[in-house]
Amino acid sequence: MAVPPGKTGGMSAVLVIEDDDRIRLSLVLALEDEGYAASGAPTAEEGLAAQRRQPADTVLVDLMLPGVDGFECIRQLRRSDDVPIVVISARDDTHDIVAALEAGADDYLVKPLAVKELTARLRALRRRARVALADEPPVLRFGDLEISPEAGEVRLHGEAVAVTRTEFQLLCELGEHPGRVLSRQQLLQRVWGYDGGDERLVDVHVGRLRQKIEDGSGAPKHLVTVRGLGYKLQR
């Protein structure tokens, strides 16, 4: 690609891991047109190598890839990186979507998608990354759970917990309103920038967060489901 991956000036770098040459090429063209520094990789292996070499700000992943598939690719990316991952797939059954989100994806879009739609998603991901860094409230404490919005850190029993940016943003939104119930739609709006979206996004991310901040025995202590209403964070 003409523009190398990684942060190039003020441009946001996007890595497209997609095996269909035409889609990849046209997506890179369209994203470059929209002002992104886009690069492509035809396989998960090449994509992972490119991301190691020069990390992009956002990674787009197709689920059906030759060799290492999209789900595994997301898991491997997640292992070393909190980079926002957006799934772009022609598969849209619940099972695939939930599996991709559980593997660590932040959002998903179903083909065929309009480029405007994609750039709106990318902007929302960027925005919340900035919001999380710009906010400067003190440390939020929920018993043994500590959230430092400024430092972008989460600690459980004093030990740092690795969360992705989306998970962190979700935690901050809930943490800024202690004990108050936020509906899935409110969370979708505040964390993902969706005005009316798929509530499974929230549910799967809450599930992922619980694995990290709850002790895993019995009912969730901090991140509580309020039936029919939404979620809240408590001591």
Partner 1 sequence: MKKAGLRVRVIAGFAAGALALSATLALVSFQVIRQSLLSERERTAVRAAYYDAAIVWSGLGSQEVGSLLRTLDTGDSRRAVLYRDGEWYSRQADTGVTDAIPVALQREAGDGIPSVQRVRAEGRAALVVAVPLSPTAVFYEVDSLQELDHTLGVLTAVLTAVAVSVAALGALLGWYASRYVLRPLTRVADAAQEIAGGAGKYRLDPAAEPDLARLTTSFNHMVDELQARLERDRRFAADVSHELRSPLQTLANAASVLERRRDQLDARTATAAGLITDEIARFQHLVNDLLELSRGDRPATRAPVDLPELARRVCRDHRISPDIVTLSGPATWCVDRGRVGQLMGNLLENAQAYGGGAVAVRLALTASTGRIEVDDEGPGVSPDDKPVIFDRFVRGRSANARADSAGTGLGLALVAQHAAAHGGTASVHDRPGGGARFRVELPECAP
Residue ranges binding partner 1 (CB under 8 A)? 20, 22-23, 26-27, 29-30, 33-34, 90, 92, 111-116, 183, 185, 195-196, 198-199, 228-229
- Least gap, CB of 163 to partner 1 (angstroms): 26
Token pair for residue 64? 């059906």
Residue 87 CA from chain centroid, whole number: 10
DSSP 11: B
The smaller minimum CB distance to partner 1, of residues 33 and 135, is found at 33
- Least gap, CB of 107 to partner 1 (angstroms): 16
Alpha-carbon distance 100 to 29, whole Å?
26
The smaller minimum CB distance to partner 1, of residues 54 and 185, is found at 185
The smaller minimum CB distance to partner 1, of residues 148 and 189, is found at 189
- Least gap, CB of 22 to partner 1 (angstroms): 4
The smaller minimum CB distance to partner 1, of residues 151 and 229, is found at 229
DSSP 12: P
| ∠ CA 201-125-87, rounded to 5° | 55
Token pair for residue 16? 């497209």
In degrees and rounded to multiples of 5, residue 2 shows phi and psi of: -65, -40
- Report the 10 Å Cβ neighbour count for 26: 13
- Least gap, CB of 182 to partner 1 (angstroms): 13
